[in-house]
Amino acid sequence: TTRTPSFLGLEKSADFFPESDAMGDVIVGVLDTGVWPERKSFDDTGFGPIPASWKGQCESGTNFSSAKCNRKLVGARYFSRGYETTLGPIDESEESKSPRDDDGHGTHTASTAAGSIVQGANLLGYASGTARGMANRARVAVYKVCWEGGCFSSDILAAMDKAIDDNVDVLSLSLGGGTSDYYKDSVAIGAFAAMEKGILVSCSAGNGGPGPFSLSNVAPWITTVGAGTLDRDFPAYVSLGNGKNFSGVSLYAGDSLPNKMLPFVYAGNASNVTNGNLCMTGTLIPEKVKGKIVLCDRGINARVQKGSVVKAAGGAGMILANTDANGEELVADAHLLPATAVGQKTGDAIKKYLTSDPNPTATILFGGTKVGVEPSPVVAAFSSRGPNSITPEILKPDIIAPGVNILAGWTGAVGPTGLEEDDRRVEFNIISGTSMSCPHVSGLAALLKGAHPEWSPAAIRSALMTTAYTAYKNGEALLDIATGKPSTPFDHGAGHVDPISAANPGLIYDINADDYLNFICALKYTPSQINTLARRNFTCDSSKKYSVADLNYPSFAVSFPAAGSDGSNTIKYSRTLTNVGPAGTYKVTVSSTSSSVKIIVEPETLSFTRMNEKKSYTVSFTAPSMSSTTNVFGRIEWSDGKHVVSSPVAISQT
Amino acid sequence: AMEIKKTYIIHMAKSQMPATFDDHTHWYDSSLKSVSESAEMLYVYKNVVNGFSARLTAQEAESLESQPGILSVLPELKYELH
């Protein structure tokens, strides 16, 4: 990716992360749509021998030979039996029955996590710079599990099974399904086994935002990643016949519009169908759009397809207006005709002009790439939000990372829009989603693994979470683009990832497999359900009082019973901190958005005299009364003056 | 509708493998064959699941679920890219 390494401070990472030997031993496995191995992001120049521990393979198949792997791309496998038995044999003229990526998504995520350095990267001139993966010295292994018809759980499980055999260190999964109990969810089941082998599993939180309870991949042994913006934008400017100007975003790179105002029409008035405003295929009347700029509403069909529909009908350009569902969030696309996306407010203002002027006119100017945009990051509207619908006591997402307008490697099989009629071929593409933020964290986790090979997956996640930030440099709280207001831990989890601080967290919250089994006992799983998830008999001790609140998680989600119902109004959480830095005395501070919930930490001071020393504390949350709609947020921070070990708190009623 | 085959993930209790089997894959195969002569395994899992995936009718899946040593027979789910 370009820009995100500097946005994350990785340009000064040499002092914090090993440059070659240790990093070269770390292998990131990516379950996705495969890989386009010829991309420079997978160049192995300067890489040493493949680690002796690596047991993976490079499988041959359609358009892909085992010779495509190298010292960078150390493994490439594909899993299609589940897919083929459900949807029929793969048509090899349409998609490659091999690790070859015909889609682009897998090449993008793999290169984001661990792509090599590529100078002169750009998409049609946009976002130019030096591209690199987060862990650019780590190795990559791809496991193709997603096909044109989707990603099937039998294939995902088979890939995770093989990745564990192969000895990956980090697994990156930018995919998800619905929400089901952990023992029914293949990704949660596979991730549990991976965690037991010391593999960190990073998953995308989902693009179901901004509504609450929209998360996927919420098992506590998974690192769940939401998405935020960068300080980079691709502005485009709309000028209307009434002299008013508006801003939007676009990655259009073809011929400019004529240097004059063009006739302008609302798609809904250039169609005979009721949803003509959406610019669905075949719905525009060519005589009514020819030579004009057409305003289409966002929704239902792909954004780039709307542009293609306008172009096919003879339109000269397109303005794509957000509706309620997307608000002011702007996602840039490499449209096939001059086009820009605009926010809902701008869209409404433009529509007002369209309906008030008998002969409306407009034009669009393209502004290229702009950096230094503030405020940034802001939480992306699409990023899925908590509370966690499976276990409300575990706060998810864990963290946010860059996931909007991310440039990374792309397939040679399709153009940047992915449309069949797009015959452009690009080395890099710019796309958005929690699919893009997840591999950022996977790569950063690989960096931490290289710097601290002895750290468990939970320790790595803890370091990433407790050092994440929730305020801009001016002290103002991170914003949520969906509301324009400060975001909450249900939106950003622990905050935005800060890898330099994560390299030296001071203290960590560690969790081992037995701790997770105790957590499962607290969920009151039956022996059969536990065995399904953990692959062994584990008997919960009937004399022991298990509590979900006792899982040593680096964040706090407190769920009080609804007002009027029975239940204690004091809930106690216990935590254990492990020292991974120098000796020191840490003092706690508690902050909260409301005094209605009393938060007491005991003890208030923890002294560590040696490495790996453990100290425990308890937190009591007391709520005299809460209305059913009130959420309270806060932070619990331990500091020795040099390190700040910060945990978000989210308090709600169930 | 009962004849339509779907993919299921079959989770087995490895500790309940009868002593007559010296290899767990033979036990899996025998369990599968006890409900369907024609069903074939898609994958035998080693690390993530004690079990396998196979195409079964709903009736076969139900029948398999009641066999000794079977923990769960879960229908395949489709996941999507984010």
Share of chain A above pLDDT 70, in %: 97
Compute CA A56 distance to the chain's CA centroid, rounded to the nearest angstrom. 26
**pLDDT value of residue A11:** 85
Q: Are A559 and A388 in contact (CB under 8 A)?
A: no
Comparing A653 with A292, the larger pLDDT belongs to: A292
Of B14, B42, B48, the CB nearest to A82: B42
pLDDT at A629 over 80: no
CB contact under 8 A, A207 and B82: yes
Query: Residue A130, class by beta-carbon neighbours within 10 Å (0-12 exposed, 13-18 middle, 19+ buried)?
Result: middle
- Using pLDDT thresholds of 50, 70 and 90, give the confidence band for residue A624: confident
pLDDT at A630 over 90: no
**pLDDT value of residue A508:** 98
pLDDT digits (tens, 9 = 90+) for A464-491: 999 999 999 999 999 999 999 999 999 9
CB contact under 8 A, B53 and A189: no
Q: Which residues of A147-176 are buried (b: 16+ CB within 10 A; e: fewer)?
A: beebbbbbbbbbbbbbbbebbbbbbbbbbb
**pLDDT value of residue A627:** 62
Going A209 to A213 to A218 to A220, the CA torsion angle's sign is positive
CA distance B32 to chain A (A): 16
**pLDDT value of residue A644:** 98
**pLDDT value of residue A19:** 66
A55, A85, A107: which to substitute to probe chain B, counting the most B Cβ within 10 Å? Answer: A85
Write down the H helix ranges in A508-594.
Answer: 513-522, 527-534
Going A351 to A352 to A353 to A354, the CA torsion angle's sign is positive
Which residues from chain B sit within 8 angstroms of residue A437, using beta carbons? none
**pLDDT value of residue A563:** 61
CA distance B82 to chain A (A): 5
- Using pLDDT thresholds of 50, 70 and 90, give the confidence band for residue A178: confident
Q: Which residues contact A62 (CB under 8 A, 6 or more apart)?
A: A92, A96, A97, A98, A100
Which residues from chain B sit within 8 angstroms of residue A154, using beta carbons? 7, 9, 42-43, 53, 76
Selected residues 39-78 of chain B with any CB under 8 Å from a CB in chain A = 42-43, 45-50, 53, 55, 71-72, 74, 76-78
Q: Which of A67-81, A625-639, B28-42 has the lowest mean pLDDT?
A: A625-639
pLDDT at A21 over 90: no
Mean pLDDT (whole number) for A181-203: 98
**pLDDT value of residue B1:** 55
CB contact under 8 A, A434 and B45: no
- DSSP, collapsed to helix, strand or coil, labels residue A151 as strand
Mean pLDDT (whole number) for A129-144: 98
Which residues from chain A sit within 8 angstroms of residue B66, using beta carbons? none
Q: In whole angstroms, give the CA distance from residue A383 to residue A392.
A: 18
Closest-CA residue of chain A to B47 = A161
pLDDT at A286 over 90: yes
pLDDT digits (tens, 9 = 90+) for A555-588: 999 988 876 555 568 999 999 999 999 999 999 9
- Mean of the per-residue pLDDT values for chain A? 95
- DSSP, collapsed to helix, strand or coil, labels residue A34 as coil
Q: Which residues contact A549 (CB under 8 A, 6 or more apart)?
A: A393, A558, A571, A572, A573, A574
Mean pLDDT (whole number) for A322-341: 92
**pLDDT value of residue A22:** 80
Mean pLDDT (whole number) for A619-643: 88
Mean pLDDT (whole number) for A234-243: 98
CA distance B79 to chain A (A): 4
**pLDDT value of residue A328:** 87
Give me the half-sphere count of Cα atoms (radius 13 Å) on the Cβ side of residue A309: 25
**pLDDT value of residue A451:** 95
Predicted-assembly ipTM surpassing the 0.95 threshold = yes
pLDDT digits (tens, 9 = 90+) for A62-75: 999 999 999 999 99
Share of chain A above pLDDT 90, in %: 92
**pLDDT value of residue A329:** 85
CB contact under 8 A, B82 and A151: no
- Using pLDDT thresholds of 50, 70 and 90, give the confidence band for residue A137: very high
Q: In whole angstroms, give the CA distance from residue A233 to residue A114.
A: 24
pLDDT digits (tens, 9 = 90+) for A342-386: 999 999 999 999 999 999 999 999 999 999 999 999 999 999 999
Q: Which of A196-205, A566-575, A616-625 has the lowest mean pLDDT?
A: A566-575
B6, B11, B48: which to substitute to probe chain A, counting the most A Cβ within 10 Å? Answer: B48
- Using pLDDT thresholds of 50, 70 and 90, give the confidence band for residue A17: confident
Of A33, A152, A161, the CB nearest to B48: A161
* Angle between helix A153-166 and helix A186-196 axes, rounded to 10 deg: 10
pLDDT at A425 over 80: yes
CB contact under 8 A, B43 and A157: yes
Which residues from chain A sit within 8 angstroms of residue B82, using beta carbons? 174-176, 204-207, 433-435, 438
